[in-house]
Amino acid sequence: MAVLRFQQARETVIAQVSAHVQAVLRALPAETLSLSESLGRVLAEPVHADRDFPPFPRSTRDGFAVRSGDVPADVPALAARLRRIGEARAGEAFGGTVGPMECVEIMTGASVPSGADAVVMVEYTAERDGWVEISRAAAPGLNVVPQGSESRRGDLLLSAGRRIGYAETAMLAAVGKKTVSVYRMPRVAILPTGDEVVEIGTTPGPYQIRNSNSYSLQAQVAGANAIPLPIGIAPDREDRLREMIVEGLRSDLLLLSGGVSMGKFDLVEKVLESLDAEIVFDGVAIQPGKPLVFGRAKGAFFFGLPGNPLSTMVTFELFARPALAILSGEQEVPLVFLRARLARDLRRRPGLTAFLPARLEASSDPVGSPPVVSLIDWKGSGDVAALNRANCYLVVPEEAEELRAGEWVAVLPR
């Protein structure tokens, strides 16, 4: 049995899947979508600036475009008196040039006319009979964003491999990308196992358990912008389990749940081995989720996730999610924990990196003071109700035996 530590296991998954994407797949298949359809997908093409940004020296204020040398002082008594020679509206240009002791009325988003090098806000001006008194000094560049200072025509703005969120959407729209080339979404087969597991539409017998894992996994896969393909429930019987695993391996990724512990009918690893699977690891020192299997068979990756519902959900988030991100073409998959103050002392046996259901209470002053996190009382990794009273996982480092109230701790939101 190969049991890895948390970090090591995560890095192994990322390295294996990245190598596969680069070596075997080389180029992931792409498709072209309209900009609004592309939200959540991963760019398959680099995006460059089609013009300078801004395309002209842009005024950031309503006011008057001036030659800064004409307006040297802040002293109202010495206010400069400039002749108003016209106006520059957004979307148009003032055709002429601003000469000495002249100014042009200008709107936010309009092009600063030639000759002028600064814009004085309208609040510091008074206009009378075609003359403008300016009571604030203007330095060169005041309230002006120079042409091309944000980016130059031809600059790389977004690399292939970038996930499209709202900021990327704004960038794509700004360069006029009506359609975008994105990677195809990975297809993820979902195969829960267990003789006691029944479909949610049937009335469970007294010792049967409804199949919740298939549904939580479908939700997680869809949330990762991949296509979930539930392929039924496999019994704890080698022949049928093998058939269903073979079917699942036709997808880009197979997620099994259950049947990976030490029980007599935990057959998943045995069946995978009979299919010549390469098992990269079959245990991770985490709680919940220790018996986690990761490997590859018939050209597809698989995870044998432990069957307890919380273990299934947590191991998906920690391991299957980054694997899916890379299969989707994403370049970077950082795992970022929040930091919070622990509400109460916590003692436990060290040895596993723990992800414990917990509740993060936002501070009433979130800018000035940190959130506080408290553990939820839970009855182990089958306790879905406890997870629904939680809104995060408290992350306890492998070696920690005790955490003290008030201490900074890591938190993974859910």
Residues that bind ligand AMP (CB under 6 A): 192, 194, 196-197, 209, 211-214, 257-261, 263, 266, 306-309, 382
Tell me which H or E stretch contains 310: helix 309-315
Rule CB under 5 A: say whether 194 interacts with Mg ion.
yes
Task: Choose from Mg ion, ligand AMP, none: what does 192 bind? Cβ within 5-8 Å by kind.
Answer: ligand AMP
Return the closest-CA partner of residue 14 out of 330, 282, 396. 330
d(CA 51, CA 293): 50
d(CA 174, CA 130): 37
Nearer to ligand AMP, 90 or 200 (CB): 200
- Which residue do the tokens 């709680």 mark? 287
Question: Closest distance between ligand AMP and the C-beta of residue 325, in Å?
Answer: 24
Q: CB–CB of 193/211 below 8 Å?
A: no
DSSP 8-state assignment for residue 112:
P
Task: Choose from ligand AMP, Mg ion, none: what does 85 bind? Cβ within 5-8 Å by kind.
Answer: none
Task: Choose from Mg ion, ligand AMP, none: what does 113 bind? Cβ within 5-8 Å by kind.
Answer: none
Task: Choose from Mg ion, ligand AMP, none: what does 111 bind? Cβ within 5-8 Å by kind.
Answer: none
Burial class (CB in 10 A: 0-12, 13-18, 19+), 100: exposed
Tell me the CA end-to-end span of the chain in Å, nearest whole number.
30
Task: Choose from Mg ion, ligand AMP, none: what does 382 bind? Cβ within 5-8 Å by kind.
Answer: ligand AMP
DSSP 146-205: -TTSSB-TT-EEE-TT-B--HHHHHHHHHTT-SEEEEEPPPEEEEEEB-TTEE-TTSPPP
Residues 204-263 that bind Mg ion (CB under 5 A): 258-259
Question: Closest distance between ligand AMP and the C-beta of residue 244, in Å?
Answer: 13
Task: Choose from Mg ion, ligand AMP, none: what does 229 bind? Cβ within 5-8 Å by kind.
Answer: none
Nearer to Mg ion, 168 or 266 (CB): 266
Residues 286-325 that bind Mg ion (CB under 5 A): 307
**Dihedrals φ, ψ of 105, to 5°?**
-65, 135
Nearer to Mg ion, 57 or 258 (CB): 258
Question: Closest distance between Mg ion and the C-beta of residue 357, in Å?
Answer: 22
Total number of residues binding Mg ion (CB under 5 A)? 4
Question: Closest distance between ligand AMP and the C-beta of residue 312, in Å?
Answer: 7
Nearer to ligand AMP, 50 or 195 (CB): 195
Burial class (CB in 10 A: 0-12, 13-18, 19+), 208: middle
